[in-house]
Amino acid sequence: MRTKERSVTFKLLTPMIFLVASAASGQIPGGYYVGSAAILPDSAVAEQVARGFTLRIARTAANAHERRLIDLAERLFPLRDSILAAAREERRPIVRERLRRIAQRPGERWWWDDYGDVLTPFAVTGASVSYYSARLRAIAAGPNPYAKYEPGAQHVGTFEYSATVHQPDAESPPGTAHVVHLALRWYYGCGMLCAIGFDHERKVYFDATGAVLAVRGDGIPAVMQS
């Protein structure tokens, strides 16, 4: 029998965060800071990591300015306190304990929870892309952990990430010149009753000078698990 901890649809379960910079806040909206840069490919990458495991990364920029916008969008981290505040709203004891443990993990926090030794994303950042790329490779290099319950079962996995730059949309705050859209998707299956999947996205709104006006999309992800 399949069990689900959250909805099987790939949608946020909580309202998306939308933080607009005031004139006094400068380059970055309140609630965020610029963290460490991740080393990511500058062009599209599609790789068959192992049998049944695929990695796709596409960071698309038309020029150096768009490249800088993508780099900054990937380096924006929500303040740890905002994630801890969301965790305090969780009422299920098992999940609360898991969130308590995961909060002790070192590093600039972009993650929300830990499902089956895979972190789920609160924010899409360059660090999260590096993590999922490495995690997929590590899982692909090992045996299927579910094979002892389902002999002969093959495990499979996919990680996809895209970073693109767009013109202002209907949801853009006044003064928006560019919108950077970051999106990731993770799927891992290891048998008939063994799978985890989620997707998450972020939009970062920039003015003509390259200052960040708003960040949208960060929050608790929906996770499909069986």
Could you report the per-residue pLDDT of 11-60, keeping only the tens digit for each?
333 333 334 443 333 478 899 999 999 999 987 889 998 999 999 999 99
Q: Is the pLDDT of residue 121 over 80?
A: yes
pLDDT of 150 higher than 90: no
What is the rounded average pLDDT of the residues 158-177? 96
How many C-alpha atoms does 110 have within 13 Å on its Cβ side?
25
Provide the whole-model pTM.
0.85
Q: For residue 151, give both structure tokens.
A: 């002999």
pLDDT at residue 214 tops 80: yes
Rounded distance between C-alpha atoms, residue 130 and residue 138, angstroms: 12
Q: Pull the structure tokens for residue 19.
A: 């933080």
Residue 115 in this model has a pLDDT that exceeds 50: yes
pLDDT at 23: 33
**Residues 103 and 111 sit within 8 Å (Cβ to Cβ):** no
The vertex-114 CA angle with 186 and 10, nearest 5°, equals: 40
- CA–CA distances in Å: residue 39 to residues 7, 32, 126, 160, 176: 33, 21, 8, 16, 27
Compute the chain's Rg from CA coordinates: 18
Nearest partner of 51 among 196, 155, 166, judged by Cα? 155
Residue type (1 letter), 178: H
pLDDT of the residue at 193? 81
User: Is the four-CA dihedral 42, 201, 130, 140 of positive or negative sign?
Assistant: negative
Q: Which residues pair with 189 in a beta bridge?
A: 156, 195
The two structure tokens encoding residue 28: 């970055």
Q: What is the mean pLDDT of the chain?
A: 87
| Least confident range of 38-42, 70-74, 113-117, 168-172 | 113-117
Q: Which of 4-13, 114-123, 163-172 reaches the highest mean pLDDT?
A: 163-172
Confidence band, pLDDT 50/70/90 cuts, at residue 3: very low
Q: What is the mean pLDDT of residues 87-91?
A: 92
What average pLDDT does this structure show over 212-226?
94
| Contact present, 216 and 205 (Cβ < 8 Å) | yes
pLDDT at 16: 38
Task: Calculate the alpha carbon distances from 159 to 103, 130, 184 in Å.
Answer: 24, 11, 7
Q: Which helix (H) or strand (E) holds 164?
A: strand 156-166
Residue keyed to tokens 């063994």: 194
Backbone region of residue 127 per phi and psi (left: phi > 0; alpha: psi in -120 to 50; beta: other values): alpha
